[in-house]
Structure formats: structure tokens, C-alpha cells
Structure 1
């Protein structure tokens, strides 16, 4: 959980028209879906309506049978202050350096509530509520769920679940869509190359390199 006050260009409001498609565009730009190991770390707790954006997103992603990536942090098994350090250390010790997508709720100005922000670099979980937790993520996805700057713990506890749920749903659907678009593009490219190879053989250029 962070406070967000800086101007960020890569954002989509969850209620705007075509939000899922627009988010999938951002995810395609930021996430290297061809990477050998991508892990989605969905940070937060199910004990707070405002801070449940991460676990909700993780649970949505796990429910998609066609989403092939590892997800850490769900409503059933949250990724939070208690186990975050161990998770970061586990990822650092992996034989293959993973590309980590960190997802978390954050607080910001009233006019920005509902925005979903994507940027390069790690999250600093717990910063808004003065917790000293390790940074995590190669890129960050943040959802501004409420107003920051005063009594953050109380604000989080009194955040509307509808807002958090809707934002989590849009993030998860957009991630799935981005993966499907990436996969479809790869299949189309393969089909085009196969057609090109067949054409070369038909005109006698099968040994051309």
C-alpha cells in the first residue's frame, strides 16, 4: 500500500469505456510475456476492504484456467507483511531470475480514485501505513482505492468493496486479455512464416537462406 501523489502517464480509470482493452495495451507494453518465468505477486490482505485489491486480483487470475503464470497472493493465501520478506528472498534465490509483476492497492488524491497505474520499477508495500517492507517487482500495477494523507488504516478499512472488487476484476481480465493477444500474435506470425516457407518450396527456393 502506497500513497500516490506524482503525475503518472500510464493509467486507466476502471470505469472508463474500454478500460479492459486499454489496460491490456499497457500490459503488453510493460510485460515481456515471452520471458522464461513471469510471476505475479498480488500484495494485500483480505482483512481490509481497501487493501484487498491484490488478493482479489490473485484469486481472479487463479480462476482463469488458460492463464499459465504463477500467482502469489490470493484471498485464500494472501501475500502481506508477514510473509513478504520470505517471498522476496525465495524469488531472489530462484535458479532462473523471474520477471515479477507486483500488484497492490494504493492511496492518492480524491480526483484519482479508481485509476489503475502501471509503471516500471518495484512497489514499496506498506509505505502509506508507515511499514518498512522490502521493495518487490520489475513492474508495478497499482489501484488507487481511496484518499491518502490522513488516518490511512481507517481509510482502508472504510473503502467501498465495490470499488476494490471492480478494479481487481478489470486488472485480472486485462492481464488475461493481454496474454491472449500476445499468444494470438505469436500464432499468427508462425502461420505467416509457415505459409511463406510453403510458397518458397512451391517455386523452388526451399534451400534459400
Structure 2
């Protein structure tokens, strides 16, 4: 759904190839450096649809991360309950009604240069879904993570439909691992709201 992302020039960003061994630790620490010092309700919004291979990145991330049973983050957008173009506005309204002053990390797929395929990109500021297609969709996210799943610039819908599932799955697992690392670094007497801690909390084994 978010084919080519357009970000504000003053936003900070960082990228790594999804096959890098230290990717999850490196990107998660970068995102942690952008998180607020005060306690917030953390919300993960995974945008996309399971009806398109390339655009399934977001819902796959949501499902994989949900299976990890995050303690301090609430997930919107999974394979069974996706957040996409037709319900994005409704989902944002629901999030703002359900969560008090939420800090949103938005996840989506994007298309880019051939040399960028396979890169995971994170940055401050919101995603602008549908910007390349001139769709009137709302911006979402205080921080964003995108995965470049294929080459862009022409026949975007066809390109997304013909994207290899293997790279989408691999990138989704990596992004879920990034979110899990961040969740382990959040701390609170309750599950939400939470605040970041400088000391890594060991996750208890989940049955």
C-alpha cells in the first residue's frame, strides 16, 4: 500500500541490509535513541495487505511480533486483521481513542532503487502511505520502519504482486526481532504505559 515513501527532509534516518548479522541490535538501539524519556503507551501499526506478496510485509511483521507476546507494546495490523488503505483512517481513530498519548511505530513495505532492495530503513517522523499514488491517506507514526521489497518507478501494483515471498518473510522476521529487542528494553510496573531503560531486561521464557 505504501509503494514509495516520501519523508520530510529534516527527519533522521538509518538503513541496513536485512542480512546483516547485527541488524536487529543495531537498528533497535538506533530507534531506542529516538524514544521519549517519559512513559508512553507504545503502539505498533503494521500497514499492508495479505492480498499482495510485496505489501504483506507489514501484516507479517504484526503476526510474527504478536507471537512473541510483547509486554509493553500493542500491535495493530496482522495477517488475520490487517491495517490497509480502506481502514487506515478508522484504525488511527481507534488507536487515539483507545490509547492515551500513544507513541506509534509504523511499519510498511516500500519500493526503491535496485541497489536498495533488501534494506530495512528506519527514521523519525511519520510514514506517508500512498504518497506515490496520490491517495489521500493520513500520515502515521512518530517513528517508522520500512522494508524495500522490490524496485519501484513503474507498474507498482504489478511489481508488488510479483515480489518474492522469501525476501518479504525474511525481512518481516528481522523487523519483528527489532521490535522484540525494543520491547525488552521497555520497563514499567504495569505493562503500559512504559518507559525505556538503559539496562537490558531479560525476557522470561514464555510457554
Normalised TM-score (structure 1)? 0.81
Structure 2 match to 1:72: 76
Q: Which residue of 2 aligns with 1:200?
A: none
Give the deviation of 1:18 after TM superposition.
1.4
Contact 1:128 / 1:152 at 8 angstroms: preserved in 2? no
| 2:77 paired with 1:103 | no
Q: Which has the higher helix share?
A: 1
Aligned residue in 2 for 1:56: 60
Distance 2:122 2:98 in 1: 25
Could you say if the C-alpha distance between residues 81 and 16 of structure 1 is closer, same or farther in structure 2, counting changes exceeding 3 Å? same
Whether the aligned pair in 2 keeps the contact of 1:114 and 1:145 (CA below 8 Å) is: yes
Cα 1:91–1:182 change in 2 (3 A) is closer
Question: 2:85 pairs with 81, 85, 88, which one?
Answer: 81
Structure 1 alignment gaps of length 5 or more? 190-209
Provide the residue aligned with 1:2 in structure 2. Answer: 3
Residue aligned with 1:3, SS: coil
Asked if the contact 1:107/1:128 (under 8 Å) is kept, the reply is no
C-alpha distance in 2 between matches for 1:56 and 1:79: 12
Which SS does the other structure have where 1:2 is aligned? coil
C-alpha distance in 2 between matches for 1:157 and 1:166: 17
2:4 counterpart SS class: strand
Task: Give the count of matched residue pairs.
Answer: 189
Q: What's the TM-score once normalised by structure 2's chain length? A: 0.81
Match of 1:36 in 2: 40
* 1:131 shift after superposition: 2.4
Give the alignment's Cα RMSD to 1 decimal: 2.6
Structure 2, unmatched stretches of 5+, are 188-195, 201-207
Of 148, 172, 178, the residue aligned with 1:168 is: 172
Aligned to 1:45: 49
Give deviations 1:162-207, integer Å, cap 9, x for gaps.
Answer: 1111111001111111222455x84959xxxxxxxxxxxxxxxxxx
The change in CA–CA distance for 1:5 and 1:110 in structure 2 (over 3 A counts) is: farther
Superposition deviation, residue 125 in structure 1: 1.3
Label 1:76 to 1:151 Cα distance change in 2 as closer, same or farther (>3 A).
same
